[in-house]
Amino acid sequence: MRERVVSNMGYGQGYGNDFVLIIVLFILLVIVGAAFFY
């Protein structure tokens, strides 16, 4: 599972991919929410 995420995302080693992924998803959610409500 972890290797698949790394290969899909492209930035591999030393980054804590799950953390980066969560941040990106959260930012996208905020942007979409703001666009939807305003």
pLDDT value, residue 20: 80
The domain in which residue 14 lies consists of 2-37
CB–CB of 23/31 below 8 Å?
no
pLDDT value, residue 1: 47
Of 19, 26, 18, nearest to 1 by C-alpha is 18
Amino acid at 3: E
Q: Which token pair is 10? A: 């492209």
Average pLDDT, stretch 16-35? 86
pLDDT band at 28 (very low <50, low <70, confident <90, very high): very high
Higher pLDDT, 19 or 30: 30
Amino acid at 37: F
Count up the domains in the chain and report the number. Answer: 1
